[in-house]
Amino acid sequence: MTANVLEKPENHFSAKHNTTRGMQEFGEAFILKLPKHIASLKIHGRKMTDSDRKDAVLAFVNDIDAIQSMMTEVLLHPTTLQAQFYTEQAFLAFLDKKHVDDGLLKFFNG
């Protein structure tokens, strides 16, 4: 783990844009709200014949606590933290550009 990632240096996205909502915070919020979203997860109905369709059913997911724990472990892993830091730095560089070249826009648009 590098100190830059954990200490949120001055040029970190959250610090530069006066916000506390970086990628890490988004991941933590996502994991925290996971049980609510899993509870409403449905498996879509499917067409059996032209006139008969099976209704959607609620999905059954075992051990949501274990899933949250594993996701948190990945979120806090040094490699993930470092990747988030580099991604935010690349995004800031993109925002700071005065003129964006076509190649960069094509990269983001696919």
Residues 37-70 have pLDDT tens digits of 999 888 888 888 888 888 888 888 999 999 999 9
Of 6 and 82, more confident: 82
Residue 9 and residue 105: Cα distance in Å, rounded?
28
Contact 41, 59 (CB under 8 A): yes
Q: Where are the domains of the chain?
A: 3-109
Residues 6-21 have pLDDT tens digits of 444 455 555 555 554 6
Residue 24 and residue 13: Cα distance in Å, rounded?
11
